[in-house]
Amino acid sequence: MLTELSIRNVAIIDQLQLSFKAGLNILSGETGAGKSIIIDALTLVCGGRAATDLIRSGEDEATVEALFDLGSLPLLQSQLQESGIEVADELLVKRCLSRNGKNRVYINGSLATLAQLTGLGRQLVTIHGQHESQGLLRPEYHLVLLDAFANTTGLRQQVAVAFEQWKQITERLAHFDEQERDTARRIDLLAYQVEEISAAELKAGEEEELEEQQRLLANAERLACTTGSAYEALYGGDQALLGELKRVTAAMAEAAKIDIALAPLHSMLDEGYLQLEDAALQLRDYAARIEAEPEQLKQVDDRLDLLTRLKRKYAPTVEEVIALGATLAAELEELQGRSRSRDELQQELADQRTTLEKLGAELSKKRRAAAVELEKQLAAETRQLAMPHAVMQVAFEPLAEPRGSGFEKVEFLFSPNPGEPPRPLGKVASGGELSRLMLAFKQVLPEGEAPTMVFDEVDTGVGGAVAGVVGRKLRNLATGQQVFCVTHLPQVAAWAMQHIRVEKLVENGRTTTIVHELDQDGQIQEIARMLAGEQITEAARDHARELIAQAATVS
């Protein structure tokens, strides 16, 4: 529950520090004193929408801090620990708004995101604003309330998932059919491209080998002439170099016999002769192998031309053309199996529709059974809220096609007076009746809201004895949860377990808000003010005491 709330520089609030207790906390005060601003501040610290106009004029930053007691929320403590937030029995949340847009969020002293704060805030506080009862005018909200009462929210989520899957398959099938003509053209193109690439029988590295082969074949005659001439010069003729070198080597052999110092030179000449002889023989063999083969050269040229055309058409390299061919072949195979894919899609759609209808039928059955009980319980609640003849009816309208919410629309029909048929709420319910109906729903719905509930003037449009019943209903809710209520009605305020008066004060030309936690005498004085206005009489005080005593007796 919320134990402390600190507000600084929010609207007309300069600085406020409030402490709260369990049970029913009432906030009262003159119109414009700042009661709803306190609720706005609590909304901010729970992740609500922020705007710079909430920052007090003349200030650069507004800050709201809230301290929560998590002693009764071990599951939430575990969730926070798992998300990396160190927490024990208390949780401190802080939100800072800045005019420069650099807003910040802190959870237990650590920087956090607004999304984290919003998710946490939903688990800590539920705020029912001044106009929340207007939600009863929206039929889609009726379905939410009925599912909450029927405890079918989980089943409704299953239906929503099944519906979304069915919708996706339907869209895939529709897209499939729309693309049928384009697919036929695509298949023709792919078949041609795959055949063209496949027929080429491409090999990785082939282009480099062909280019090397092309160079050799194109220069065969030149290579044969060059190597043949070299052989002749070295070995072939009478004046061949090797013949002369052999004679020189023989002469040096004789000279080395005379001077041993010439022996190394003789060895060098001898080795040179052997190496040149080996080179000459290899040149002879190479020249003998080389032949001009114009036909083979043409084949190589044609192959290279083919590779060039394929690269120009499909990809920069032969390897990429090969890879593209595989991709196109896979796409072709997939598209050629479209008839099979369509049959599978249709079967998948039928299966999903069966699943959706089964879940939807179960949801509809539980909703209709719950609607009967809801009508009974609401009738009992509205009688207590001074609407003894009111009738609330849950009307079902089957849908031609399912939605994520199920197979039917639901609308609450209302008749406030006997003899009148139930009609849509927006056509017959007054503002006060809507407020009381909202409170009636809060009484009959199962527990499941956050541990702290806030009602900002939910009693608008009611008064007298009905206001007392509203107070009792709020006190009822406060037995299991912490409840805050902003009210102008003394009959509601009398039920307070903690009563806080909010005042507006003008000092040095600036308006600010101050609060007082009221003791018993202060509560009597405040309720007397709410009864009598500015001129508080002893009769008003007596009436205030009587209201408080009646509430205490019923409690």
Dig out the tokens for 142 from the structure: 């009726």
The three-state DSSP-derived secondary structure of 430-446 is: CHHHHHHHHHHHHHHCC
Dig out the tokens for 156 from the structure: 């409704």
Question: Which tens digit of pLDDT belongs to each residue from 264-282?
Answer: 888 888 888 888 878 777 8
Tell the residue number behind the tokens 């529950």, with chain if given: 1
482-486/24-28 β-pairing: parallel
pTM: 0.60
Of the pLDDT bands very low, low, confident and very high (cuts 50, 70, 90), residue 403 is: very high
Sign of the torsion angle spanned by Cα atoms 252, 255, 259, 260 = positive
Question: Which tens digit of pLDDT belongs to each residue from 302-321?
Answer: 788 888 888 888 888 888 98
DSSP of 300-328: HHHHHHHHHHHHHHT-SSHHHHHHHHHHH
Question: Which tens digit of pLDDT belongs to each residue from 5-15?
Answer: 999 999 989 89
Sorted by where each starts, the structural domains of the chain and their CATH numbers stand as 2-130+422-554 (3.40.50.300), 194-335 (no CATH)
The pLDDT of residue 224: 66
Q: How far apart are CA 241 and CA 378, in angstroms?
A: 125
Q: How far apart are CA 481 and CA 475, in angstroms?
A: 10
CB 442 within 8 A of CB 472: no
Helix (H) or strand (E) holding 235: none
Question: Which tens digit of pLDDT belongs to each residue from 326-375?
Answer: 999 988 888 877 656 778 889 999 999 999 999 999 999 999 999 999 99
Question: Which tens digit of pLDDT belongs to each residue from 495-507?
Answer: 999 999 999 888 8
The pLDDT of residue 473: 87
CB 139 within 8 A of CB 464: no
* Order of strands across the sheet that contains 423-424: 391-403, 406-415, 423-424
Break the chain down into helix, strand, coil percent, rounded to 5: 60, 20, 20
Dig out the tokens for 206 from the structure: 């082939």
